[in-house]
Structure 1
Amino acid sequence: MEDRQGNRGRIVIAASQVAGTYFLPQKLLSFTEAYSDIKVDIQTRTDDEIEKLVQTGAVDIGLTLKFPENHLFFRITEFSRDRFIGIQTTAPIRKQTLLIPKDCYFMFNRDSELDIIKMNSIEAVKHFVKEGMGYGVILESAAKLKLVHGELDYWSGYTPQDAIANVITRPAERLSNSIWYFLNHIRKYTR
């Protein structure tokens, strides 16, 4: 429940695995420090579930890497940016496979002779690639440490692409003050 100023209340956020893990933590920490009386609940959902939950009002905010199919129904705010990059092991590659997180959306050559395996997480992709299972496509920020420490290399067989996380909400007239505080707060910190 919200008070008159809107600086108390509760926000329910549904986020995909990748968006919730790699894009949300720093901005959510900043928001909860600035608005400590607004409680935030987070649910991990698939992109299709997120769109339906926001549309029906079951959650207040959706955070996804997938642009909504029914985009005219939603208010869409860019939340954060990163890049998808190709990675490979520094050891010999023992299998010609392309490993990708299942909730990431990017373009790749479907005519490729690589077998494609969709994995549950970016961490799983990194581990399998490091062990020589094939090549991977993940967020650059998620690979940074392993690249710096020489555990992974860039894979030149993939052209980096932008990764944009979007916040989706219902139309503006249906938003509570707490949600407006959240949206305005993240706009200040979007790269």
Structure 2
Amino acid sequence: MNLKQLEAFICVAEAKSFSAAARKLYLTQPTVSAHISALEKELGARLFARTTKEVELSQEGERLYGNAKKMLQLEKNILRDFTQKEVSGIQKIVVGASTVPGQYILPQILSLFARTYPGNQLELKEADSMEVVRLVQEGEVEIGFTGTSVTDPACVFEPFYADHLVVVTPNIERYRKYEQTGFPLEQFYKERWIVREEGSGTRKETERCLKEMGLDLSRLETVATISNQEAIKKSVGADMGISILSGAAAEDFVRQGILLRFSLGSGEIYRNLYMVWSKNHKPGKAARLFIRFVRELYTGP
């Protein structure tokens, strides 16, 4: 078994086609087929179920796929660490970020870092928090920025920013009366709610806070589930419902007078945003420099 065979296997599995995999790898189709045949012979297993339209992983192929991905990622990590230069040359840093840090916190950080260390190239992949954690776990990104943490001994979660969770409503008369008194918890059951998608750190932390405040989530009326934070703000502004968002995300619409912002409950509620990296796929030299840069730049409010 060798890495070229595993690379061909992964490519066929993801493209669901031997010919498409051959084009992607710049190989002939017989060469790709030979790689797969050699792998199947060595493992004593049929890795693909071939149909008239496409190629699907067999049960044995599914078992191999995850480990094969990890092995190829380890190869990339080794090459990255030994080809990056300590001082000169362009060094690439692959970062994953969920919506709030990716859209409202990281742009300033990335700009400052690029000006301070111009010899680095940054690649940003945006997904929800749970997907970012998966990308970190599998070594597809060196550093993740998420709105929540999970229990995983293979990952390090380091808080880097304290984000204010707020209730946002349209800026109309029936909500302006709460500007002096605050938004009462009992009103939550009378409102229509727009919520983030499953996997969102904002949603996970919001649900945790509401439960701690004694609210019955099953009694809240959800009218829409929307993954795009900008779409949520526009929907709230159009009086479709109200929502709980990151204070950083809501700031521009509040400043423009489109939305009203209220504290969540009787006090200020903050949730941590996290930097996360894997112990199994350790960040390269440039990524470690970026971690130190963020650590020094942000200490929370």
- Structure 2 distance, partners of 1:41, 1:148, is 31
Q: Which residue number corresponds to residue 189 of structure 1?
A: 297
Which residues of structure 1 form unaligned runs of 5+? none
Higher strand share: 1
In structure 2, do the counterparts of structure 1 residues 48 and 90 end up closer, same or farther at CA, with 3 Å as the change threshold? Answer: closer
Matched, 1:127 2:234: yes
Residue 40 of structure 1: SS of its match in structure 2? strand
In structure 2, do the counterparts of structure 1 residues 96 and 174 end up closer, same or farther at CA, with 3 Å as the change threshold? Answer: closer
Matched, 1:101 2:193: no
- Structure 2 distance, partners of 1:129, 1:175, is 40
Higher helix share: 2
Matched, 1:141 2:248: yes
Q: Summarize deviations over 1:38-82 as a string: whole Å, max 9, x none.
A: 111111123222222212212111111020231x21122223222
8 Å contact from structure 2 (residues 98, 129) kept in 1? yes
Residue 186 of structure 1: SS of its match in structure 2? helix
| Structure showing greater Rg | 2
In structure 2, do the counterparts of structure 1 residues 77 and 57 end up closer, same or farther at CA, with 3 Å as the change threshold? Answer: same
Q: Residue 224 of structure 2 is aligned with which of 100, 117, 131?
A: 117
- Structure 2 distance, partners of 1:123, 1:24, is 16
Residue 59 of structure 1: SS of its match in structure 2? coil
Q: Which residue number corresponds to residue 162 of structure 2?
A: 81
Q: Which residue number corresponds to residue 177 of structure 1?
A: 285
8 Å contact from structure 1 (residues 84, 137) kept in 2? yes
Shift, 1:24, TM fit: 0.8
Shift, 1:83, TM fit: 0.6
In structure 2, do the counterparts of structure 1 residues 52 and 141 end up closer, same or farther at CA, with 3 Å as the change threshold? Answer: closer
Q: Which residue number corresponds to residue 172 of structure 2?
A: 91
Residue 28 of structure 1: SS of its match in structure 2? helix
Q: Which residue number corresponds to residue 163 of structure 1?
A: 271
In the alignment, residue 146 of structure 1 is paired with which amino acid? F
Matched, 1:53 2:160: no
**Bigger RCO of structures 1 and 2 (CA < 8 A, at least 6 apart):** 1
- Structure 1's consecutive aligned runs of 4 or more residues displaced over 6 angstroms after TM superposition are none
- Structure 1 distance, partners of 2:136, 2:124, is 13
8 Å contact from structure 1 (residues 14, 61) kept in 2? yes
Shift, 1:116, TM fit: 5.3
Matched, 1:31 2:138: no
8 Å contact from structure 1 (residues 12, 59) kept in 2? yes
Residue 219 of structure 2: SS of its match in structure 1? coil
Which residues of structure 2 form unaligned runs of 5+? 1-82, 175-189
Q: Summarize deviations over 1:94-114 as a string: whole Å, max 9, x none.
A: x93111232223233304342
Supply the RMSD in Å over aligned alpha carbons. Answer: 2.5
In the alignment, residue 277 of structure 2 is paired with which amino acid? T
In structure 2, do the counterparts of structure 1 residues 172 and 75 end up closer, same or farther at CA, with 3 Å as the change threshold? Answer: farther
In structure 2, do the counterparts of structure 1 residues 187 and 7 end up closer, same or farther at CA, with 3 Å as the change threshold? Answer: farther
In the alignment, residue 14 of structure 1 is paired with which amino acid? G
In structure 2, do the counterparts of structure 1 residues 171 and 29 end up closer, same or farther at CA, with 3 Å as the change threshold? Answer: same
In the alignment, residue 163 of structure 2 is paired with which amino acid? D
